[in-house]
């Protein structure tokens, strides 16, 4: 039953995710967090952040980890197959069909019409992540992170993985710095 659910969750999100890995993230989140309740939004956000720092397609990385967490090694294989199978099938079918009909106005309009839908899906996911962030941080801190990340990515062209890795390192070493300071204060008393 669990392996079937893993396959269904990742097959459905991959089949409906038009436009590449980032467009499937909201669909995976819907399946994993809301439908099957395998994890909460905060944990999903952590997986997404770490997955973005690693090389390769985000959807297969997330499928591999989530599949392993839910169903072990068979779950990983199952989730990755469910993720790549729709792409293989659709690439063969759609590219053959698109090559034949690409110059028709309705086909061009259809491909352009999907872009706003993907934009809305990503905006909803962003709103959910912002709401999760505010639970752990104050609004001012979240706003500062958003503005700083936007500036670094859009104007200085810093890769998002560098920003994510920097924040992870900061979060990791910040508590260590406080503990070291507290230990030194304890020794001097």
Pair 78, 67: CB distance under 8 Å? yes
Pair 55, 151: CB distance under 8 Å? no
Could you write out the three-class secondary structure of the chain? CHHHHHHHHHHHHHHHCCCCHHHHHHHHHHHHHHHCCCCCHHHHHHHHHHHHHCCCCHHHHHHHHHHHHHHHHHHHHHHHHHHHHHHHHHHHHHHHHHHHHCCCHHHHHHHHHHHHHHHHHHHHHHHHHHHHHHHHCCHHHHHHHHHHHHHHHHCCCCCHHHHHHHHHHHHHHHHHHHHHHHHHHHHHC
| pLDDT value at residue 184 | 57
| pLDDT value at residue 73 | 96
Residue-level pLDDT, tens digit, the chain, 189 residues:
899 999 999 999 988 876 667 788 899 999 999 999 999 999 999 999 888 888 888 889 999 999 999 999 999 999 999 999 988 887 888 788 877 887 888 878 877 888 888 888 889 888 888 888 888 788 888 899 889 999 999 999 999 889 988 888 888 887 665 555 555 555 554
| pLDDT value at residue 147 | 93
| pLDDT value at residue 183 | 57
Report pTM. Answer: 0.60
| pLDDT value at residue 185 | 57
CA 135, CA 28: separation in Å to the nearest integer?
22
| pLDDT value at residue 38 | 96
How big is the CA angle at 40 (ends 154 and 142), to the nearest 5 degrees? Answer: 35
| pLDDT value at residue 178 | 55
């Amino acid at each position: 039953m669990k392996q079937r659910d893993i396959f269904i969750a990742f097959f459905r999100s991959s089949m409906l995710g038009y436009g590449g890995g980032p467009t499937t993230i909201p669909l995976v989140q819907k399946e994993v967090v809301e439908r099957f309740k395998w994890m909460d939004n905060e944990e999903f956000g952590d997986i997404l952040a770490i997955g973005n720092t690693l090389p390769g397609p985000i959807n297969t990385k997330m499928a591999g980890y989530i599949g392993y967490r839910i169903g072990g090694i068979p779950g990983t294989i199952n989730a990755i197959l469910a993720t790549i199978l729709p792409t293989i099938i659709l690439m063969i079918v759609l590219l053959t069909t698109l090559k034949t009909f690409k110059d028709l106005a309705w086909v061009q309009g259809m491909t352009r019409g999907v872009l706003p839908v993907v934009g809305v899906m990503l905006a909803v996911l962003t709103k959910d992540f912002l709401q999760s962030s505010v639970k752990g941080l104050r609004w001012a801190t979240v706003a500062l992170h958003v503005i700083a990340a936007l500036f670094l990515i859009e104007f200085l062209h810093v890769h998002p993985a560098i920003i994510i890795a920097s924040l992870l390192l900061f979060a990791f070493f910040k508590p260590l710095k406080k503990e070291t300071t507290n230990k030194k204060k304890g020794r001097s008393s």
